[in-house]
Amino acid sequence: MADLLFAAGAVLLVVAALGLVALWRTRAVADQMLAVQLLGSAGVAVLLMLAVAAGDGSILDVALLLALLAAFAAAAFRACGSTVFRARGTAGDAPFTGDQS
């Protein structure tokens, strides 16, 4: 059972890595943040499996924190749009147009 879970975890990490590689090549910053959300989701799943494989319930707490903070990171990313805009000297709601070279 532990072996199976480690194998599944490894597959999940590879899948997440492929997502990261593909999305991080795009120029849109929003897509890059989506890749981090993917990693967060996969990370929560991996942590659940690790908790069972190691028999350690405290790893579930790490999964809880990860779920909370991945969402927080997305909100922080959104909030940073406004400071970008303000740095340029214009007021109002500031979306990322998304492109980074």
Partner 1 sequence: MSGLADLFTLACVGVGVAFFAAGTVGLLRLPDTLTRIHALAKADNVGLAFIALGLLPQAASVLDGAKMVAVWLLAQLASGAVAQVMGQMANAAASGGAGPAPADAPGGGGAP
Partner 2 sequence: MSLVFDAVLCLLVLGVGWRVVAAPAALPAAIAFIAYGLLLGLAWVRLAAVDVALTEVAVGSGIAGIVLLRAAARVPQVSAAPSAALRLGAAVLSLLVAGGLAVMVLGLPEPAPTLAGDVARHMPATGLGNPVTGVLMVFRALDTVLEMVVLLLALIAVWALALERDWRNAPPPLWPGPAPAPVDFLARILVPVGLLVGFYQLWAGADVPGGKFQGAALLAAMGLLLMMAGRMAPPEARSLRLRVLLLAGPFAFLAVGVAGFAMAGTFLGYPPGFEKPVIVAVEVAATASVAVTLALLVLGPPAGERRP
From the CB of 76, what's the least distance to partner 1, in Å?
A: 10
Three-state SS for 99?
A: strand
Cβ-Cβ contacts under 8 Å for 45 (sequence gap 6 or more): 12
Task: Give CA–CA dist 55/53, Å, rounded.
Answer: 6
Q: Are 44 and 63 in contact (CB under 8 A)?
A: yes
Binding-residue total with partner 1 (CB under 8 A): 58
Which residues are at the interface with partner 1 (CB under 8 A)? 1, 4-5, 8, 11-12, 15-16, 18-19, 22-23, 27-31, 33-35, 37-38, 41-42, 44-45, 48-49, 51-52, 55, 57, 60-61, 63-64, 67-68, 70-71, 74-75, 78, 81, 84-85, 87-88, 90, 93-101
